[in-house]
Structure 1
Amino acid sequence: MGPRAVSPGGPPPLVDLMPWGTSGIGTGRTWVYAPERETLRRRWARLAAAEDRNTLLQPTRSRTDGSRPAPLPGCEAPIGPLAREVGPTPRLVRVARRPFDRQWLVADHRVVDFARPELWRVRGDRQVYLTERQAGDPWPLLCSALLPDAAHHGGRGGRVAPLYRDPAGRVPNLAPGLVDLLAERLEVPVAAEDVFAWIVAVTVDPAGVPLTADPTVWAAGVELGRRLIGLYTFGARFGRPGDGKPRLPGGRRPFVREPVPARPAGASYDEETRTLLLGSGRIGPVPREVWDLGILEPWIAARTEPPGEGLERIRERTWSTDLTSELIYLLHVLGLLADLTREQAELRTRAAAGPTLDSTALLPPTPATRRPPTVLDITEEGPGGQAVLI
Structure 2
Amino acid sequence: MAARRPGTGESTPARVHFRSLPEAGRAEKFEALAGTSLHDDSWTDCPSDWRAPFLPRRSAEWAGYPALDQLFDYDGSGVMPGRTWVIAPDTQSLEARWKRLQAETDPNKKEMLFHPHLRGGKPGDKHLNKVVKEGLTGHRHAALSVANDKGPMNVPQRYGFRSFDRQWIIPDARLINQANPNLWATNSPRQIYATAPHDRTPTGGPALAITSLIPDLHHYNGRGGRVFPLWADSESKTHNFAPGIIAELSAPLGFEVTPEDLFAYIAAVAAHPDYTARFAKDLKQPGLRIPLTVDADLFAQAVRLGREIVWLHTFGDRFADPAAGRPAGAPRMPEYGPVVSKDGTIPDSPERFPQDISYNGDTRRLHVGDGYIDNVSPAMWTYEISGVPVIQHWFSYRRRDRERPVIGDRRPPSPLGRIQPEAWLAEYTSELVNVLHILGRLVALEPQQAELLKRIVSGPTLTTDRLREAGVIAEVPS
Same fold at TM > 0.5: yes
CA distance in 2, matches of 1:171, 1:223: 22
Q: What is the aligned counterpart of 2:85 among 24, 31, 53?
A: 31
What residue number does 1:114 align with? 178
Instruction: Tell me the equivalent position of 1:16.
Output: 70
Residue in 1 aligned with 2:228? 161
| Structure 1 residue 282: Cα displacement | 1.2
Q: Distance in 2 between matches of 1:8 and 1:316?
A: 49
Q: 2:100 aligns with which of 46, 55, 66?
A: 46
Aligned to 2:293: 212
Partner residue of 2:392 out of 274, 294, 297: 297
Which of 155, 159, 169 is the equivalent residue of 1:91?
A: 155
CA positional deviation for 1:153: 2.6
State the match for 1:323 in structure 2: 428
How far apart, in 1, do the equivalents of 2:62 and 2:377 lie? Answer: 43
1:318 is matched by which residue type in structure 2? Answer: A
Partner Cα distance (1:305, 1:350) in 2: 47
Instruction: Please give the residue correspondences for 1:291-370 in structure 2 after superposition, counting only pairs within 5 Å.
Output: 291-293=381-383, 294-306=389-401, 308=403, 310-357=415-462, 358-363=466-471, 365=473
- Check the 8 A contact 2:308/2:319 in 1, yes or no: yes
1:226 aligns with 2:316: no
Q: Does the Cα contact within 8 Å between 1:178 and 1:362 map onto a contact in 2?
A: no
The match for 1:78 among 134, 142, 152 is: 142
**2:80–2:217 contact (8 Å) kept in structure 1:** yes
Structure 1 residue 132, shift from structure 2 partner:
1.4
Aligned residues of 1:153 and 1:160 also touching (Cα < 8 A): no
Letter in 1 for 2:468: T
Work out whether residues 90 and 108 of structure 1, in 8 Å CA contact, stay in contact via their aligned partners in 2: yes
- Pair 194,149 (structure 1): closer, same or farther in 2 beyond 3 Å: same
Q: 1:361 to 1:85 in 2, by over 3 A?
A: same
Amino acid in the other structure paired with 1:59: P
Q: Which has the higher contact order (CA 8 A, sep 6+)?
A: 1
Q: Which amino acid aligns with 2:130?
A: S
Q: What is the distance in 2 between the residues matched to 1:201 and 1:320?
A: 34
Superposed displacement of residue 320, structure 1 = 1.8
| Local SS of the residue matching 1:303 | coil
Pairing 1:239–2:320 present: yes
Q: Which moved more, 1:51-60 or 1:20-29?
A: 51-60
Q: Is the 8 A contact 1:307 1:315 kept in 2?
A: no
SS in 2 for 1:282: strand
How many Å apart are 1:307 and its aligned residue?
Answer: 5.2
Tell me what 1:62 maps to: 125
Q: Distance in 2 between matches of 1:35 and 1:339?
A: 28
Offset of residue 178 of structure 1: 1.6
Deviation at 1:12, TM superposition (A): 0.5
SS in 2 for 1:273: coil
Give the TM-score of the pair, scaled to structure 1. Answer: 0.88
Deviates more, 1:32-41 or 1:69-78: 69-78
Query: How far apart are residue 86 of structure 1 and its match?
Result: 4.2
1:215 positional shift: 1.1
2: CA distance between counterparts of 1:8 and 1:229?
Answer: 25
Question: What SS does structure 2 have at the residue aligned with 1:269?
Answer: strand
Matched to 2:97, the amino acid is R
Contiguous gaps of at least 5 residues in structure 2: 1-60, 118-123, 276-282, 384-388, 404-413
The letter for the 1-side match of 2:362 is E
Shift of 1:8: 11
For normalisation by structure 2, the TM-score amounts to 0.72
* Corresponding position of 2:26: none
Q: 1 CA distance for matches of 2:288 and 2:437?
A: 31
Rounded Cα–Cα distance in structure 2 between residues aligned with 1:264 and 1:94 = 24
Aligned residues: percent identity?
A: 35
SS for the counterpart of 1:341 is: helix
Find the counterpart in structure 2 of residue 282 from structure 1.
372
Give me the whole-angstrom Cα distance separating, in 2, the residues matched to 1:313 and 1:267: 20
Task: Report the counterpart of residue 172 of structure 1 in structure 2.
Answer: 239
The secondary structure found in structure 1 opposite 2:359 is: strand
1:56 partner letter: L
3-state DSSP class of the match of 2:422?
Answer: coil
Matched-pair contact (CA < 8 Å) for 1:307–1:314: no
Task: Report the residue type matching 1:67 in the other structure.
Answer: K
Partner residue of 1:103?
167
| Residue matched to 1:380 | none
Secondary structure of the 1:326 match is: helix
